[in-house]
A = this chain, B = another copy of it.
């Protein structure tokens, strides 16, 4: 089977208060909402923001650029068990792609101010999608199951953590 590499490019940089993985980065924006950041689009992509100010929320697609390992099984930050990587949002995953829903605060000259960031400062941006509930969320009334995360989301169990630990602690737990 021929599987040629897929070559992508950075289209901008995500700026956040979290300078490195030891800066207590939220593992999900919604665990620690309200953190402000912004996107610096590269000059060729400023046009692409036209009409985006009509949307209250966007989905950022980015690269976990500090990750070097690609795991298929790993212990997620909030859990105590090893899990299949697709059932987690753990960054050390095939292709190191992250997605995060953020609120749009303002857009001006290729700078998009956003709220609820959960990335390390300097994260390379790959794409922006306008958030549309009909496309991106499961309709009210439909059954939704969230597997091993359910006790943590319902408050029945306390997550192991809701922020990335220091690099040292991360290494100790994941090697």
On A, residues with C-beta under 8 Å from B are 3, 5-11, 28-30, 42, 44-45, 47-59, 61, 63, 72-73, 83-89, 93-95, 97, 99, 101, 124, 126-138, 143-150, 153
Interface contact B145-A56, CB-CB below 8 Å: yes
13 more A-B contacts (CB under 8 A) besides A9-B95, A45-B94, A59-B99? Answer: A3-B42, A6-B9, A11-B94, A30-B134, A30-B135, A47-B72, A55-B87, A57-B138, A87-B130, A89-B132, A97-B97, A101-B136, A132-B153
As for how many copies of this chain the complex holds, the number is: 2
A165 to chain B, nearest CB (A): 19
| Nearest-neighbor residue (CB-CB) of A86 within chain B | B128
Given contacts A30-B134, A133-B138, contact A87 B146 (CB under 8 A): no
Given the known interface contacts A72-B45, A83-B51, A84-B48, the answer about A95 and B146 at a Cβ–Cβ threshold of 8 Å is no
A47 to B72, CA, bound (A): 6
Contact A127 to B93, CB < 8 A, known contacts A8-B8, A61-B99: yes
**Chain A contact residues: over half helix, strand or loop, or mixed?**
mixed
Chain B: minimal CB distance from A26 (Å): 11
Q: How far apart are the CA atoms of A120 and B62 in the complex, in Å?
A: 23
Contact in complex: A144, B138 (CB < 8 Å)? no
- Give 4 closest A-B pairs by Cβ, nearest first: A54-B147, A50-B84, A137-B137, A51-B87
